[in-house]
Structure 1
Amino acid sequence: MRILLVKTSSLGDVIHTLPALTDAYQQLPHLQCDWVVEEAFKEIPTWHPAVKQVIPSAVRRWRSNVKQAIRSGQWRYFKESLQQCRYDYIIDAQGLLKSALIAYQANGKRVGLNWSSAREPLASLLYHQRYAVAWNQHAVTRLRQLFAAIFDYPLPEAMPDYGIQDFFKPFKTLNTQPTVIFLHGTTWSSKQYPEAYWFILASLAVQAGLQVRLPYGNAIEQNIAEKIRGNNPEHIHLIPKGSLTDMAKELLQAQLVIGVDTGLAHLAAALNVPAITLYGATQPAWTGTVGLNQVTLQTEFACSPCLQKRCRYKESAPVYPACYAQLPPQKIWEIAQHLLTHSP
């Protein structure tokens, strides 16, 4: 059986799709999957044994210059890649109009969420077959339920298996210097943990004999990382920019990861790296990290989770985003010490 999977973005959403594909691959060992994904995340599907071909999409880039995308032939080449064979199933796992339109270009039976289950109900009109999946569940669970309904097998009771452990097994080595990685970068300012709190966490980690490593994805994140490093450059280091595979290898060497709600936190969870992930503006019950040795901490604040990109709290607060005052670094470090002691 050959399927086309359309799940283009974001980083966390793409990772959330892996367990559903693992379920289907375990039920149908001869399954072959081609995956349409945003070009920035094209490495991720290659880590899974069921994926035979990755078809990179550049919708984000094309939307900024539609004429250029057409004139350059990029859109035509993309359509030809989608139409190179006939698929048994074309699964739109995104439930958006843009992903449904991508699925519409391919040859085969289009399937996805029904009107009441899709994030954008209009997308369901482009499918040949539609499935109901209840809301108010974690994204990983919803996707596993969708795949189970499409391929008609009982929903597995086992914990989600991202299916990438074998790919990364050769890269797991014993780090001679215990390391903690801080995932401080995120696109929403409402999810950014206060800089002053990161300074305290870094000091606590160094006092405990750990090296601190800091990734960054842009100039703003690099500036924050360098500020944190400035407190103790001997024990705090920046992770050079590289590929997602390089970042996964870095995460594998860490004894602990502490981060905000960001795509790399979900990558750490998929690799079963012990981690603490902080939630203020967002809801971990729907999109939190899922895996072994994962701790999600959510603030219990009047307006949390607000699901807003910027903190709009108007009252006086010791830090901003205001909800993070309920997650001081000392509290986080107590949990970190437990994970460092008891996690395999």
Structure 2
Amino acid sequence: MVMAQSLFIALKQQTPDCLIDVLAPAWSLPLLARMPQVRQGIAMPLGHGQFGLGARLRLGRQLRGRYDQAIVLPNSWKSALVPFFADIPLRTGYLGELRWGLLNDARRLDKKRLTMTVQRFVALGLAGDAKLPPDCPIPQLAIGTEQRQQAREKFSIDAVKKILALCPGAEYGPAKRWPAEHFAAVANAKIGEGWQVWLFGSDKDRPVADAIVELTGGVCRNFVGETTLAEAVDLLALADAVVSNDSGLMHVAAALDKKIVAVYGSSDPGFTPPLNPAAQILSLKLACSPCFKRDCPFGHTRCLIELGPEQVLAALEADR
């Protein structure tokens, strides 16, 4: 969703008066609310993997007559059904799962020219014969002064000490997660310098967050599983620096223009990098990576274990 903001910005640059609504999972609506280019987010009534033909038909009928164009970012066949049922005149997307008919502006994806996810998104907002790869605007989430103050008051934030945010989760799998002891070593070093350290993530990240808390003597403030997405975004906006695996929160931090160190293991920093030129990307670039596996196929996860805390600390000290 953060990468999709580059498309929204590009659309507004081309046609400043265009109105952009986004059909998306309900959990992502707080992100859309912090994107000035988006008029409104519409909650998709179906969860991931649900087909729900009837629900898609009903939603499509509700949306009829309201839009001139639909840009379909997912490549699945079912994701093109709502715009089709809504009878939107121009329906743009990649051919994906043979979506002839569902899309009337179906394009073939040239993976050699569009090597990054964000490029693929932005290209769909351009004419079919546009020069590729496109220029991709940097995502910028807008957090107002009132939102920041509400976060400070609700969570009793110490506004004096510098804040290091750690995002130790990665829902895809262990091969994307830097070891808890490495995160803890970075946390202990910054705590020793007088910083406060916060942990962020979802309920699924509680085990790794609890391990980091234990390894730091309970000093870290653990927000994992304790905030809504909106609250997590607003709290991240208060941070001075962020260390993260390749995850959704990494992209959020980049869009908040934070000083960020992004750690890559099994994934490719060339495909889904943090979309901020000031971000520090760390990857050992071993011969076996990126493998894009959830678990290390060799059982050693050297791409993460051998990337030491001292390298992350050095990146944090580097000028932006």
Q: Shorter-chain TM-score: what band?
A: 0.7 to 0.9
* TM-score, normalising length: structure 1: 0.80
Aligned to 1:146: 124
**Structure 1 residue 155: Cα displacement:** 8.3
Q: Distance in 2 between matches of 1:114 and 1:217?
A: 31
Kindly provide the CA deviation profile for residues 200-221 of structure 1, in whole angstroms up to 9, marking residues without a partner as x. Answer: 2222221222111012311x52
Q: 1:162 aligns with which of 126, 139, 146?
A: 139
Q: Percent identity?
A: 20
Aligned to 2:175: 190
**Structure 1 residue 123: Cα displacement:** 3.0
Aligned to 2:25: 38
RMSD, matched Cα: 2.8
Higher helix share: 1
Q: Are 1:148 and 1:155, in contact at CA under 8 Å, matched by a contact in 2?
A: no
**Structure 1 residue 29: Cα displacement:** 1.7
- CA 33–276 in structure 1, closer or farther in 2 if over 3 Å, else same: same
1:226 aligns with 2:202: no
Q: Are 1:279 and 1:296, in contact at CA under 8 Å, matched by a contact in 2?
A: yes
Q: 1:181 aligns with which of 162, 165, 168?
A: 165
Q: Are 2:123 and 2:134, in contact at CA under 8 Å, matched by a contact in 1?
A: no
Q: Distance in 1 between matches of 2:140 and 2:209?
A: 32
Q: Are 1:258 and 1:275, in contact at CA under 8 Å, matched by a contact in 2?
A: yes
Q: Distance in 2 between matches of 1:151 and 1:56?
A: 32
Aligned to 2:313: 333
2:6 partner amino acid: P
**Structure 1 residue 17: Cα displacement:** 0.7
Greater displacement, 261-270 / 51-60: 51-60
Q: 2:62 aligns with which of 81, 97, 101?
A: 81
**Structure 1 residue 49: Cα displacement:** 2.7
Greater displacement, 122-131 / 38-47: 122-131
Aligned to 1:95: 75
Q: Structure 1: 5+ residue runs without aligned partners? A: 1-13
Q: Are 2:60 and 2:83, in contact at CA under 8 Å, matched by a contact in 1?
A: no
1:22 partner amino acid: I
Kindly provide the CA deviation profile for residues 271-324 of structure 1, in whole angstroms up to 9, marking residues without a partner as x. Answer: 11110111111111111111142111122222110011111114xx4xxx2221
Q: 2:98 aligns with which of 107, 119, 122?
A: 122
Q: Distance in 2 between matches of 1:203 and 1:222?
A: 19
- CA 151–54 in structure 1, closer or farther in 2 if over 3 Å, else same: farther
Q: 1:259 aligns with which of 232, 238, 244?
A: 244
Aligned to 1:299: 284
Q: Distance in 1 between matches of 2:89 and 2:131?
A: 19
**Count of aligned positions:** 308
Q: Distance in 2 between matches of 1:77 and 1:287?
A: 34
- CA 209–180 in structure 1, closer or farther in 2 if over 3 Å, else same: same
2:287 partner amino acid: A
Q: Are 1:300 and 1:326, in contact at CA under 8 Å, matched by a contact in 2?
A: no
